Amino acid sequence: MNTFFENKNIVVTGGAGFLGNFVIDGLKKRGCKHILVPKIEEYDLVKIEDINRMYEDMDPDIVIHLAAVVGGIGANRDHPGEFFYKNLMMGVQLIEQARLRSLEKFVAIGTVCAYPKFTPVPFKEQDIWNGYPEETNAPYGLAKKMLLVQSQAYREEYGFNSIFLLPVNLYGPGDNFKPESSHVIPALIKKCIDAMDNNLDYIECWGTGSASREFIYAADAAEGILMAAEHYNGSEPINIGAGFEISIKDLVEKIAKLTGFTGEIRWDSSKPDGQPRRMLDVSRAKEYFGFEAKTSFDEGLKATIDWYRENKTA
């Protein structure tokens, strides 16, 4: 077992969240003894005074910045200003204060939403600047993409070791199932199971079903992030994904089958599809630090469905 994390102070912003739980579990498995999570009740990381207090209290060697204000298409459409401001201010100020304190490393987590709307599939990291992101999530995606600009500029001018990772859509046990802010997989699982619980013979889905997406199991994404934190010290952005693509129509049918929902699937084409296609080229992560996603999609979906059934409130 590599001892890279063992005696370092590791701050994980967003460590109490969905992905954060898997990252912390991965750190513990690697023997990390000093894992620190700034809770939102104690530190509002949009505010510079709280960021400074967090750094003084926690004295990290490495920051893994997972915290984000995020949601599905509906939430992005309703809160473009909030999503832009809070994500930008959190990331930019955390990196600046990390540089001023000469931290060993900063791991900035971006988003697949940073890619241009019509990126050729599979998305290669070098295509990230070749166009404007899909409109419904552009403010969020651009705010996150500024952390790539900052990471590269700070490495060039100050020699500061900040890396930038681009995870694709996450899913897994412990995901957010709130209808107002959930992403597509938990939203569909909830719709199917709730429909069966309430004896409904149909579910309604946004868009046309023609858009495609790639998904990575959250435990796999956490492993990719930790492998990058341990082994990668470069300026190039790195995709963290599973390297497959599925249409939303096929996804709905797969989730219906796995949950046992046999009713009608109705499409509301007045609602947006979002970005037409999404699938990452994942070769750079494999080449640079040996990361490959391990969990099959059906296996991951079954685990997520089982978790929701066990944890949903009546």
**For residue 241, what is the DSSP state?**
-
Q: Is 158 a catalytic residue?
A: no
Cβ neighbour number for residue 269 with a 10 Å cutoff = 11
Residue of 115, 140, 154, 232 with catalytic role: 140
**pLDDT digits over 191-233, tens only?**
999 999 999 999 999 999 999 999 999 999 999 999 999 999 9
For residues 230 and 289, give the distance between their C-alpha atoms in angstroms, rounded to a whole number: 9
Q: Where are the domains of the chain?
A: 9-172+215-243+277-294
The per-residue pLDDT for 182 is 85
Residues 37-61, mean pLDDT to the nearest whole number: 98
CATH topology for 9-172+215-243+277-294 is Rossmann fold (3.40.50)
- Please state the rounded mean pLDDT for residues 52-79: 91
Q: Which of 227, 218, 231, 133 is nearest to 167 (CA)?
A: 218
Q: What is the mean pLDDT of residues 248-263?
A: 98
Global model pTM greater than 0.75: yes
Q: What is the pLDDT of residues 114-141, one digit of tens each?
A: 999 999 999 999 999 999 999 988 999 9
Query: What whole-number distance in Å separates Cα of residue 35 and Cα of residue 8?
Result: 8
Q: What is the mean pLDDT of the chain?
A: 95
Angle at 254 between CA 170 and CA 137, to 5 degrees: 35
Does the pLDDT at position 314 exceed 70? no
